[in-house]
């Protein structure tokens, strides 16, 4: 299971301390904007700066956003929210999270604040999310628009049996990569849902939100074209990832992840990598088949450092990807920079 905190004792943070923060606000998705927005704007709280920026792309001048995790020095897996964060969630008109166990602190904040705001969960728009696989199977088997409720329950149970886990949007599902923002196609559908929810909250600007979502989709199409170019030039090239954050992007580029699962899973969970697994990883790097190594700048340890040192010794290009939005970037410009970096490394 990833590095996540159990539900935090948020109610014990103290209402008095939280209220003193009510007037504090600043601009930008990474700045921790207070959710107490003016009446003519929609206040949106997002778990990370990545999602806050996408909300701003769709909502434009009609949204005020709060990014709970906004710094590259913060690891969302193990983030501990503050009284200010709880107050923001309590006042939010819309809440945006990743889900899949990645940002469980959001659910703790919602529960503690008793917020009734609608919640958009990004993992629900991933084709690999187990619930979606269950619905697809149901549609194929029934062949009808309206399936019988009992059959639906059977399909859901079957999907749970296949994965061996309860498919709770808010709990980690083993075998599912929760870093879905690295899948541009998922983000396209996620942005469409943002436009829908914003339109429900501010119907007068529905056309604006729809147009912004369409423009975002055009940007995603450019990203996918860049991935297709890598696929054409380097399909099947082997990559080693210290942690699975970038795997949606590498898969979209037609690349093959050869990292031992035990290595990347241990790094993601904040555990030590077993000596045998580390040795296997170093042998892979020395084999001459790995074209590039991709590191997560926000997770790591002694074994990750050893892998990066070995990559340098073998003259294997190393790319660093992050989990939060770099300063001055939009989601689209950031993903384009990652794709460009990947293409450049494979050409070395």
User: Please, what are the averages of pLDDT over each run of 10 residues along the chain (348 residues)?
Assistant: 41 38 38 48 96 98 94 73 92 96 93 95 93 53 41 38 38 79 98 98 97 98 98 98 95 97 89 95 97 88 94 97 92 98 94
Q: What is the dihedral of CA 205, 208, 214, 219, to 10 degrees?
A: -120
Q: What's the CATH class of domain 10-126+169-217? A: alpha beta
Give the pLDDT of residue 133.
61
Q: What's the CATH class of domain 219-347? A: alpha beta
Give the pLDDT of residue 40.
78
Give the pLDDT of residue 171.
52
Give the pLDDT of residue 340.
98
Percent of the chain at pLDDT above 70?
A: 75
Give the pLDDT of residue 270.
84
Q: Do domains 10-126+169-217 and 219-347 have the same CATH topology?
A: yes
Give the pLDDT of residue 24.
34
Give the pLDDT of residue 130.
84
Asked whether the beta carbons of 180 and 98 are under 8 A apart, the reply is yes
SS3 content of the chain, % helix, strand, coil (to 5): 55, 10, 35
DSSP state of 7: P
Angle 104-113/83-91 helices, nearest 10 degrees? Answer: 70
Asked whether the beta carbons of 243 and 264 are under 8 A apart, the reply is yes
Give the pLDDT of residue 135.
47
pTM score, whole prediction:
0.79
Q: Where are the domains of the chain?
A: 10-126+169-217, 130-163, 219-347
């Amino acid at each position: 299971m990833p590095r996540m905190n159990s539900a935090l004792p948020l109610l014990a943070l103290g209402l008095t301390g939280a209220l003193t923060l009510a007037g504090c606000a600043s601009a930008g998705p990474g700045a921790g904007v207070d959710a107490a927005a003016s009446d003519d704007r929609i206040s949106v709280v997002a778990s990370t700066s990545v999602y806050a920026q996408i909300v701003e792309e769709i909502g434009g001048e009609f949204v005020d956003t709060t990014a709970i995790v906004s710094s590259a020095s913060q690891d969302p897996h193990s983030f501990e929210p503050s009284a200010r964060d709880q107050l923001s969630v309590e006042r939010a008109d819309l809440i945006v999270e990743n889900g899949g166990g990645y940002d469980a602190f959001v659910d703790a904040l919602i529960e503690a604040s008793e917020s009734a705001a609608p919640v958009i969960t990004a993992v629900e728009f991933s084709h690999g999310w187990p619930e979606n696989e269950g619905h697809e199977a149901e549609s194929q088997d029934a062949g009808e628009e309206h399936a019988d409720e009992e059959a639906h329950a059977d399909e859901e149970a079957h999907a749970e049996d296949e994965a061996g886990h309860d498919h709770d949007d808010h709990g980690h599902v083993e075998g599912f990569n929760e870093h879905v923002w690295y899948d541009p196609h998922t983000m396209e559908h996620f942005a469409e849902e943002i436009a829908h929810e914003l339109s429900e909250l501010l119907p007068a600007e529905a056309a604006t939100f729809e147009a912004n979502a369409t423009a975002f989709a055009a940007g995603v199409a450019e990203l996918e074209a860049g991935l297709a170019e890598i696929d054409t030039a380097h399909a099947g090239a082997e990559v080693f990832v210290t942690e699975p954050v970038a795997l949606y992007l590498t898969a979209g580029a037609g690349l093959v992840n050869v990292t031992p699962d035990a290595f990347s899973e241990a790094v993601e969970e904040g555990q030590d990598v077993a000596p045998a697994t580390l040795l296997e990883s170093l042998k892979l790097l020395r084999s001459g088949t790995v074209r590039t190594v991709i590191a997560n700048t926000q997770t790591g340890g002694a074994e990750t450092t050893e892998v990066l040192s070995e990559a340098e010794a073998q003259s294997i290009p190393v790319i660093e990807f992050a989990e939060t939005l770099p300063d001055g970037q939009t989601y689209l410009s950031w993903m384009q920079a990652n794709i460009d970096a990947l293409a450049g490394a494979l050409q070395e």
